[in-house]
Structure 1
Amino acid sequence: MRKIILIGFALMLGTLIAPAQVPVEKPLELGKVESDKLTEASGIASSVPLKGCFWTHNDSGNKPEVFLINSKAELISTIKLKDVSNRDWEDIAEGIGPIKGKYYVYVGDIGDNGGIRNSIKIYRFPEPTTIPGKKTEITPDVLKLKYADDPKDAESLMIDPISRNIYILSKREKHIHLYKTKLDFKNGDHAVLEELIKLPYTWVTAGDISKDGHHIVIKTLTNVFYWHRADGESVEQAMARPARQLPYEVEKQGEGITITADNDGYVTISEGKNTPVYFYKWKF
């Protein structure tokens, strides 16, 4: 997202409810992203096989590259996605995929400020099990998606390991929409996003589901919200309940959130040069 939005406006629109807060410690700054390659971070995803590392990417109009950073926010690897473009990459997720026991990285080319795109895309590639070289290339699988209703601007991509679904949240309506599709797609597949429920939030810039599927977070420009998902419950059933609000120190243009691989908290990232990466430890 390139447009600068006034924080006061975001505060007014950020949520329509006042959830109770979950006790969380003050955030820890893991480090600052000092690489000039990553100046418009628009998403972040924690890695299971690469412990302590995170995947991220730039916003629209940049090169089709995914970056791996370590627990100090240092850039350690750049992966170019071949034969695709970065029309409007807005979020990234890590999770299960078509092969059991393997993890995959999902990149959401899902932004649409004007609500005019006929289709959006998700790019998927197998996650390396060891730190890749400083520069490498990979050809991702591509899933082309359409909404069941009208085109939407979206910045939140979530992978559910329990139902094996991909979830997308719209961004800017007064009441946003939650959509899903199956994650077991093949390269070149087309699918229609199923519309599920409306939620009383707006300007939602990121979301994540934990690796065990029981923790769900989304963030607006000014707030972070949380749901615990019970056994036997779908994501949409869990999110239909009122959320609990998590502490969040407003970033300049915070557009990324991920739950850590071991479920001990969540990490946020913002657009901008020398942007800090924050870790919030939660207690339940």
Structure 2
Amino acid sequence: MLKKSILITTAIIFLVVAAFIGTSIYTLYSKKEISVDPKLKEISGIEFDKHQRLWAINDSGDEPKLYRLNKDGSIAKEILVTNAKNIDWEDMTQNKFGHFFLGDFGNNKNERKWLTIYKIENPIDIKGNTTEAEIIKFTYPELDGTPVTPEQRNYDLEAFVALGRHLYLFTKNRTEPFDGITNVYKVGDHAANFDAQLIDSFKTCTTMEKLCWITSAALSPDRKKLVLLDSTSIWLFENYKGDKFFSGDVSRIDLGIVTQKEAITFYDDNTIVFTDEEFKGIGGNAYFIKLDEVTKNVIRKVSNLQSADK
């Protein structure tokens, strides 16, 4: 009788786990729009130009190139940035004028002292297959040359956005023990050497670092929504004031099964596009979601807090 009970319990647990995994897979793949060209196996940043055409960059190991994608995910055009290097390109963003910014600021070991952002014209205005970039350099003033201790390893970057005349950088936390905090730094959006200014921080989660790492960021065209991407979710920030992104409403959108999600952008104010890298036949896709159609898990509602304070 006991053996039968154990078998029944095991079967129930198996069915529950199978249902959970199946639901997680459906949650992600129901949003799939296209498969990305295999040449972009390590796609790390995406952005739409003024004609709503999708551009992408690869992570380290590739040439310093941008790739324009056709609607089926194949490559339509390549542009080489002639005065750039791809040491560790990790994200791409643009300002309201359409200038693209390419973030060469991956810093896995927290050892790079000076990091680089390349600023180019909107690719739609590039007539040939090459361009030159304006070069922005920055460092962290907190680093005084001494080795970074495990609990301080929060100087890796894979996410940034442009707002006004500044760029806002969101760290990929590698602290030990992992505390789940992404820091926000600010630098100028023009060619110069900057000391990155720490302005804010936000805690995502502390369950597992690989589930909580911030790997990309994007602002909506109207600049009223910020999203941060991790392996399983999108963090949505709304109703903030100025560049105090974490001062307003916070929601989390579940993206289902864990894949190496590395790039996110807005197609319009209601539509988000994100991609994942291909790994052992999994991923390598672009996914579309509409904010008015997805479930948002509310983490904080400022209006509720203000009502409670009255």
1:253 and 2:246 matched? no
2:255 & 2:46 partners in 1: Cα distance? Answer: 16
2:232 & 2:127 partners in 1: Cα distance? Answer: 35
Residue matched to 1:144: 137
Contact 1:181 1:191 in 2 (8 A): yes
The 4+ residue runs of structure 1 with deviation greater than 6 A are none
Contact 1:155 1:170 in 2 (8 A): yes
Residue matched to 2:57: 57
Residue matched to 2:48: 46
Contact 2:34 2:286 in 1 (8 A): yes
SS across alignment from 1:103: coil
Contact 1:266 1:280 in 2 (8 A): yes
SS across alignment from 1:92: strand
1:254 & 1:271 partners in 2: Cα distance? Answer: 6
1:110 and 2:105 matched? yes
1:179-235 CA distances to partner (integer Å, 9 max, x unpaired)? Answer: 11222x13xx111111011210241111111121101000111211101135xx122
Contact 1:30 1:73 in 2 (8 A): no
Residue matched to 2:270: 264
More displaced 10-residue stretch of structure 1: 211-220 or 265-274? 265-274
Residue matched to 1:8: none
2:261 & 2:28 partners in 1: Cα distance? Answer: 19
User: Once the 2 structures are TM-superposed, how far is the Cα of residue 73 of structure 1 from its aligned partner?
Assistant: 2.1
Amino acid at match of 1:265: T
Residue matched to 2:87: 87
Residue matched to 1:179: 185
1:249 & 1:74 partners in 2: Cα distance? Answer: 26
Contact 1:224 1:248 in 2 (8 A): yes
| Structure 1: segments with no counterpart, 5+ residues | 1-23, 97-101
Contact 2:216 2:263 in 1 (8 A): yes
Amino acid at match of 1:235: D
Contact 1:167 1:180 in 2 (8 A): yes
1:244 and 2:239 matched? no
Residue matched to 1:67: 67
Give the structure, 1 or 2, with the largest relative contact order (CA under 8 Å, sep 6 or more).
Answer: 1
Contact 1:50 1:130 in 2 (8 A): no
Amino acid at match of 2:70: N
Contact 1:81 1:139 in 2 (8 A): yes
CA RMSD of aligned residues (A): 2.3
SS across alignment from 2:142: coil
Output aligned runs, 1:124-139, within 5 Å. 124-129=119-124, 136-139=129-132
1:160-184 CA distances to partner (integer Å, 9 max, x unpaired)? Answer: 1xx332010000142120111222x
1:217 & 1:27 partners in 2: Cα distance? Answer: 20
Residue matched to 1:235: 243
User: Once the 2 structures are TM-superposed, how far is the Cα of residue 69 of structure 1 from its aligned partner?
Assistant: 1.4
Counterparts in 2 of 1:265 and 1:198: CA distance versus 1, 3 Å:
same
SS across alignment from 1:129: helix
Counterparts in 2 of 1:131 and 1:246: CA distance versus 1, 3 Å:
farther
Counterparts in 2 of 1:128 and 1:85: CA distance versus 1, 3 Å:
closer
1:282 & 1:77 partners in 2: Cα distance? Answer: 30
Counterparts in 2 of 1:72 and 1:30: CA distance versus 1, 3 Å:
farther
2:125 & 2:138 partners in 1: Cα distance? Answer: 31
User: Once the 2 structures are TM-superposed, how far is the Cα of residue 130 of structure 1 from its aligned partner?
Assistant: 6.1
Match of 2:284 among 271, 275, 284: 275
Contact 1:41 1:271 in 2 (8 A): yes
Q: TM-score, normalised on structure 2?
A: 0.72
Q: TM-score, normalised on structure 1?
A: 0.78
User: Once the 2 structures are TM-superposed, how far is the Cα of residue 132 of structure 1 from its aligned partner?
Assistant: 5.5
| Structure 2: segments with no counterpart, 5+ residues | 1-26, 144-153, 205-211, 294-310
1:34-67 CA distances to partner (integer Å, 9 max, x unpaired)? Answer: 3x421110111222x122x122111112211111
2:196 & 2:64 partners in 1: Cα distance? Answer: 24
User: Once the 2 structures are TM-superposed, how far is the Cα of residue 241 of structure 1 from its aligned partner?
Assistant: 4.2
Counterparts in 2 of 1:69 and 1:131: CA distance versus 1, 3 Å:
farther
The alignment of Structure 1 onto Structure 2 pairs a total of residues equal to 242
Amino acid at match of 1:113: N
Contact 1:251 1:270 in 2 (8 A): no
Counterparts in 2 of 1:123 and 1:27: CA distance versus 1, 3 Å:
farther
Counterparts in 2 of 1:263 and 1:131: CA distance versus 1, 3 Å:
farther
Counterparts in 2 of 1:70 and 1:264: CA distance versus 1, 3 Å:
farther
1:195 and 2:198 matched? yes
Contact 1:25 1:280 in 2 (8 A): no
SS across alignment from 1:63: coil
Amino acid at match of 2:170: L
Larger helix percent: 2
